[in-house]
Structure 1
Amino acid sequence: MIRKIEILGEAAARVSPELRSEHPQIPWRDIIGMRNRLTHAYFDIDLGIVLSTVQAFLPSLFEDLVAIQRRTRRE
């Protein structure tokens, strides 16, 4: 689970500023920040926070990202 969040954050960091500004509903900075925290705070990670974040935000985030991907592929 943590590795997948790290990958998501790495991918978010590579999204162009233009695309980010077109989709302000996506918490780009938070996604990247969580990736950085998980990657560099080895022994200071609260797994409860990680789990609650995944449960609360990942399903809708996934839907939003899939919709963005579909739109950008059509353009």
Structure 2
Amino acid sequence: MSKRHRKLLLEDILESGNKIYNYVYGYDFDTFVIDERTRDAVVRNFEIIGEASNRIDVDFKNQHSDIPWARLRGLRNRIIHEYFGIDFELVWHIIQNDLNPLLKKVETLYENIETQS
């Protein structure tokens, strides 16, 4: 399997984060929690965010330690391994409070990264 360039992985994070916002646009928690399709789409995109962050090389992560790489991977692992036990209140909290600051940091990295590693 070929390694994807870190810029593409950052792009995956940005695209998935933006999809999450599009999926829940206009929703409150009660609407989100009863909409199975939206929940599934959001969970899938958090999985992608976690997987992309996991595949970014360690040196790059160490240089950009202000991004919670381990937490992103941890969320992905919780979602994949405990699907029936997902805490949707936690997922909603992350969407409302943590996702936007994360995407801003990742976008800054994405815009400034060289295409060659």
TM range (shorter): over 0.9
> Do residues 9 (structure 1) and 50 (structure 2) align?
yes
Query: Structure 1 residue 74: deviation in Å?
Result: 6.6
Deviations 1:15-47 (A, max 9, x none): 111110111110000000000100110211110
Q: Which protein, 1 or 2, shows the higher relative CO under an 8 Å CA cutoff with sep ≥ 6?
A: 2
Query: Which of the pair has more CA radius of gyration?
Result: 2
Partner of 2:110: 69
Q: Which amino acid aligns with 1:71?
A: N
CA distance in structure 1 between the aligned counterparts of 2:63 and 2:112, rounded to whole angstroms: 12
CA distance in structure 2 between the aligned counterparts of 1:70 and 1:18, rounded to whole angstroms: 19
Following TM superposition, the consecutive aligned residue runs of length 4 or more in structure 1 with deviations greater than 4 angstroms are none
CA distance in structure 2 between the aligned counterparts of 1:54 and 1:29, rounded to whole angstroms: 17
Aligned CA RMSD, in angstroms, stands at 1.3
Unaligned runs of 5+ in 1: none
Unaligned runs of 5+ in 2: 1-41
TM value normalised by structure 2: 0.61
> Do residues 53 (structure 1) and 94 (structure 2) align?
yes
TM value normalised by structure 1: 0.93
Percent of residue pairs bearing the same amino acid type: 32
